[in-house]
Structure 1
Amino acid sequence: MKKRVVIFGDSNTWGYDAVTGGRFNEEIRWPMVAAKILGNEYRILEEGLCGRTTCLEDPFNEGLSGLTYILPCLQTHSPLDMLVVMLGTNDCKQRFSLTAANIALGMRRLVKKAMEAEVWRDNPNILVIAPGPILKECELSEVGKNMGVCSDKSYEIAKEYELIAKELGVGFFDSSKCVEMNDIDFMHLTADSHIALAKEVSVIIKNTLENKELKA
């Protein structure tokens, strides 16, 4: 059986294109580009949803809490070899009134639930990705009417996620090292950033699962 990897995220995993207001095609979306890079030995399972949070119920839109969906999602795709999670951007919305440390606690709850799920082919392999920060210009853009004051805390998420990842013994990657936000809404990845992120994450997936096989 192919190595099965779920990539779980929000609109920047779903592939929102700020230029068209639609969705990037499979040649651009980073989970699908990663699938192409990794090749036929891997089955990449794309689970992105616009507006998704780590664990928060949105008062205006139902079904966006990652915590309530993660278990059936993983069960649907089991048996699994790895889970990649990139969430936190929507947790920055002003209406949730969270700090970056609060957002990291939401990620901690999500990861712990995934670790304890009976969906793993062997032991859990989880990679937490800190999303690229929301640029300050977002707050003055059209989408800023929904996001509110959100930028400053987004720059603090990576260091908080890294602490949580170390505590739980899971992988961590700071996507700000390779991605840029577009100059329209200032919170969604550019097409080039999707490609760059795919290259980085595919290496981590491959190294994680192949090193696991060598140790077996």
Structure 2
Amino acid sequence: MKKHIVCFGDSNTHGYFPVEGGLGRFNENERWTCLLQKHLGEDYLVIEEGLSGRTTSFEDPLEEGLCGLTHMYTCLMTHEPVSLLIIMLGTNDAKERFGSNAACIALGMKRLIQKAQSVKDCWADGKPNILLITPQNMDARYIDSPFTASMGRGCAEKTQALAAEYKAVAELTGCEYLDANQIATDGPNTIDYMHLTKKDHSLMAEAISKKILEIGI
């Protein structure tokens, strides 16, 4: 059987990109998840579990089904046996309506990781393997984009403080760690200032594939 790698994230895992007057999605030759599959080859099955708006542990009062904590068990058991779980979340947790900060978002991530580790029956060889990725920071210029109304204020500052918080969570929970801000150096895009560019998807795939091989998955 192939090694199952589950990519659990939000719109930047889904491959969303903003276009003037509408919504878009990068195709299978552009999304980092699909490019990761190409890098790793036929011995791996890379599974896309990206949902726009997903949070670590917050229930969204405006949209249903976006709490990562609620869906982690089902996701992992659907794709068992899981050799590696990649989690890249936190941007949506910064929305003003959740009234949170970087430290609390990190606590939500810690809770999500511990939930995943507790799903004993899903893991290949019975061993949880998780790669935590800090998402790319939102640029402060998002405040002048059409997305300010739904995101609210203060989001950029919260996301910019996540890397230090997430690195500590990774160390505490025994997870591997990457910071997308050290990888995705092309963006963010200049429409909403929060989503990966096409080039950054390629850079992410390359860096993540190297990390996977480095840790011996």
Shorter-chain TM-score above 0.5: yes
Match of 2:210 in 1: 203
- TM (norm. structure 1) is 0.95
Tell me the residue number matched to 2:124: 121
Name the CA distance, whole Å, in 1 between partners of 2:28 and 2:17. Answer: 12
Q: How far off is 1:209 after superposition?
A: 2.8
Counterpart residue number, 1:135: 139
Instruction: Please give the secondary structure, in 2, of the residue aligned with 1:85.
Output: strand
Q: Measure, in 2, the Cα distance between the counterparts of 1:170 and 1:183.
A: 32
Paired residues for 1:122-201 under 5 Å:
122=125, 123-149=127-153, 150-179=155-184, 180-201=187-208
Matches within 5 A, 1:9-158: 9-19=9-19, 21-117=23-119, 118-122=121-125, 123-149=127-153, 150-158=155-163
Please tell me the root mean square deviation across aligned C-alpha atoms, in Å. 0.9
| Cα distance in 2, alignment partners of residues 59 and 189 from structure 1 | 26
Number of matched pairs: 210
Unaligned 5+ segments in structure 1 are 211-216
Report the AA paired with residue 81 of structure 1: S
Segments of structure 2 that go 5 or more residues without pairing to the other structure are none
Quick one: distance in 2 between partners of 1:153 and 1:138?
13
> CA offsets, 1:114-160, max 9 Å, x none?
01102001211100000010001112210111011111111000100
Percent identity between matched residues is 46
Structure with a larger share of its residues in strand: 2
The separation in 2 between residues aligned to 1:178 and 1:116, in whole angstroms, is 30
Q: Distance in 1 between matches of 2:183 and 2:168?
A: 20
Q: Distance in 1 between matches of 2:192 and 2:205?
A: 22
Which residue type is aligned with residue 13 of structure 1? T
- C-alpha offsets along residues 8-39 of structure 1, whole Å, 9 cap, x if unaligned? 00000000011362110011110110001000
Distance 2:173 2:98 in 1: 25
SS in 1 for 2:149: helix
The equivalent residue for 1:213 is none
- Specify the code of the residue in structure 2 equivalent to 1:205: I
TM-score by length of 2: 0.95
Distance in 1, matches of 2:18 and 2:87, equals 22
